[in-house]
Structure 1
């Protein structure tokens, strides 16, 4: 049975459970949802913590080698696998060029906030963002140190 484009998430879970003849909380439902997820390929681009590496986990209750279920949306989130590469490139540029890295290279630092604002516009719905993330950081830092 094909899902309706207007199907509610709870109805999707119920439909899949019916197709699989199982309870909606059965692991098979989650696995089917993962198979059908159009964004699943993005997982390959992030490090997902293993159960054994998380401090509050009782390893007698879980498979230590499994990926953790990660619900920390207000934290840094999952680390993109390319972060180290990008940081090392910029640190190398800084070491070799000093302050000239502001104006040259693949990612000139002086235009960093403009790039981020453009990306943020895509995420928040293409509205013009009226602030610079760099300015917000500087103001936050200054405010904290003035108190």
Structure 2
């Protein structure tokens, strides 16, 4: 009978040991799951921060692209204006060339005297300016 009681106690202790070990493994598993959950939450937070930074960068890039579009449109307008001015200049040069070929003197653009003729200078400076102007006009006669 004593051996039966001892055997029953051993079986109860074995079952208790088994239940304790199962509980221990569950706790270990919960600890691992909790650490994995904590790691996943920290990864989620990190990815959220990266996403927010990427969205800010995207907004900045969109603003820069918009600025580039504005500059592009301004450059196209400038090109259009310059092409128009070039066309006007070509027309004027063609007119002047025809007048030169026909022998008609070109009309003076400005009835006012040039600045080097109106400003007072020392005689040698005024003479040298006029010499340069005359040599320039002589060189430009081929046009």
Give the greater-gyration-radius structure (CA): 2
TM-score range, shorter chain: under 0.3
Q: How high is the TM-score relative to the length of structure 1?
A: 0.23
Q: How high is the TM-score relative to the length of structure 2?
A: 0.23
Q: Which has the higher helix share?
A: 2
